[in-house]
Amino acid sequence: MGHYEYGLKSLADEQLLSGLARIVQRRNEITAEFLAYLAELDERQLFLDLGFSSLFEYCTVKLGLCGSTAGRHIAAARVCRSHPQVFEMVASGALHASALSLLKKHLTGENAAELFELCSRRSARRVEELLAARFPRPDVNDLVRRLPAPSARTLDVGCCVAAEEPSRELQTEASPQAIALGPAPEQQFEQKTPVESLSHEQSVTLGATQASKPRRPEPLSADRFGVHFTADGEFCALLERVRGLAGHRLPSGDLMTLLKRGLEAYERELEKQRFAVGRKGRRNRDGAPASGALAGPALSKPAPPHPNPSDPTLSRPEFQPKPRPSQKRRPHYPAAVARAVFLRDGKQCTYVSPDGRRCSARWRLELDHIEPAAVGGEATIENLRLRCRAHNQWYARQYFGRFRVSAAMLASRRRRAAPSD
């Protein structure tokens, strides 16, 4: 067999989707069988006879699994060994190994059936949220502490994002390299500090000294999340300046409140900049909306009057037209139109699939012409909609063809990369 068996370009769309569904079903059945083998291997402890100190070592060294996959499936196999009815749920796709590994520490004989049903056909992210609501954990303490890294500027900031969380006074540890918000770690109900409990893969790195994957907020309870990230000295200096300015309104200097208000202000700034939300419309002296305000569906701007060619002042150097850069200008959207479309579409991508599922993206939203501007489509409320970049480009490929869109994107990248004169 060669690589030709994996070439699927000849398949129709329906064949591709149905084939993928069949493979997923087979994968679920194989996963259930794999967990059964792991559970029995764990029961017999055969890996000890083979010279491995643990089932995890056997899976990573002998079977070649990565550490996260091995740990997740071993935990799932042990759940299945304790609750054999779960094998069928895994084979049917109702439960997956990630969900079982998250459930393991919460399962008892009394709640097992209820928790299996609660987490059935849920993503790992959703399972984390459901378990956090069911088994809430203590909030993490505010902490600003220097990490043992080569760069002296890289700091780790762990903060609790919690509604109505009582704030703590600023305390300084004995070491001049650490600043902690809250009680000392040994006073935290045997809870590790955020820095000590974080692994390298769990940090969101803002400095150049680390390159770990961004970590999403960690659910702690129904409405509380632990937020961990690595910051540099400039961020911490800015944090202290803002804390000082807010000292009269927020004497405790609570990190969650400071960051929340800062993000709210930045959100308002971005919405005003991108979609003119909150921007006041210009008015003429008589109080009527100026051109470009929300006065009609077309919202067109009147063209400026043409200059008189016989005017002698036009020959002076300061009146000569200046050369413009060759880069293509971005399409212009009147502020009132951008604002109306952004608010009308609920600040979310408007693409709806044939089965009725709306795209949930709120990241990198763009104004998309229903009738493209390249064929005369106007920047009106009726002809614009909010789309994420992926669905915006997908619609363009459908309308103009994949080759033409790819060529235009390549030309745009080349223009941006070209040195400016």
Is a pLDDT exceeding 60 seen at residue 198? Answer: no
Other Cβ atoms within 10 Å of 31 Cβ, number = 19
Answer whether 178's CB lies under 8 Å from 146's CB.
yes
pLDDT at 190: 33
**Which residues lie across from 352 on neighbouring strands?**
358
CA angle 400, 406, 410 (to 5 degrees): 135
pLDDT tens readout for residues 158-175 = 554 444 333 333 333 333
Determine which helix (DSSP H) or strand (DSSP E) holds 225, and give its type and residue range. Answer: strand 224-232
Which pLDDT does position 289 carry in this prediction?
53
pLDDT score, position 308: 46
172 C-beta neighbours (distance < 10 Å), count? 9
What pLDDT was estimated at residue 290?
A: 52
Helix (H) or strand (E) holding 171: strand 170-172
Per-residue pLDDT at 304 exceeds 80: no
Distance in angstroms (rounded) separating the CA atoms of residues 120 and 123: 9
Residue 413 has pLDDT above 90, yes or no: no
The mean pLDDT value for 64-72 works out to 94
Cα–Cα distance measured from residue 37 to residue 51, given in angstroms and rounded to the nearest whole number: 19
Sequence spans of domains, the chain: 18-134, 143-273, 332-417
Alpha-carbon span 283 to 221, nearest angstrom: 49
Decide if pLDDT at 184 tops 70.
no
Residue type, 373: A
Question: pLDDT tens, 114-158?
Answer: 999 999 999 998 999 899 999 998 877 776 666 665 544 444 555
**pLDDT tens by residue, 57-66:** 899 999 999 9
d(CA 185, CA 183): 6
Q: Residue 360 pLDDT > 70, yes or no?
A: yes
Mean pLDDT of the chain: 75
In whole angstroms, what is the distance from residue 364 CA to residue 249 CA? Answer: 34
Please give the average per-residue pLDDT across 72-90, as a whole number: 95
To the nearest whole percent, how much of the chain has pLDDT over 70? 69
Say which residue the tokens 């569906």 belong to. Answer: 297
